[in-house]
Homo-oligomer: A and B are copies of this chain.
Amino acid sequence: MYVVNKDSVSEEKVEEAKNTTIRWLIDEKVAKNFAMRYFVIKKGGNSPFHSHDWEHEMFVVKGEGYVYDGNQRTKIREGDAIYIAPNETHQLINEDSETLEVICLIPL
């Protein structure tokens, strides 16, 4: 068993994002199949608009914002689970919340 609090994991700036940090809560040193990361996007920030051939499973822990797919914005808020399929373009945007905080899992 492995237990770690998000506040004790080092917070790194996300490249090509704005006002966004990542903490790797469960990575390949702990798990084999999927990794858990914790993103904090401050007000006015966003993740990169991008796509890749792996999926995301996300959960909004705090705040609200949008997921932009290139055509439209979908509102997201605390308690939302989000699935982004492989190769879907996506971007998280925080316009109004102090912080938008999201768990994001990816396959390893």
B34 touches A3 (CB 8 A): no
A3 touches B33 (CB 8 A): no
**Interface 1/0 per residue, A72-108 and B, CB below 8 Å:** 0010110111111100101000000000000101010
Chain A interface bracket (under 10, 10 to 19, 20 to 34, 35 or more): 35 or more
Report Cα–Cα, A38/B103, bound state, in Å.
Answer: 13
Report Cα–Cα, A55/B67, bound state, in Å.
Answer: 29
Residues of B with C-beta under 8 A to A77:
5
Q: Does A36 contact B (CB under 8 A)?
A: yes
Q: Does A14 contact B (CB under 8 A)?
A: no
Q: How far is the CB of A62 from chain B (nearest CB, A)?
A: 10
B80 touches A1 (CB 8 A): no
A1 touches B57 (CB 8 A): no
- 3 tightest A-B contacts by CB? A25-B81, A2-B83, A6-B79
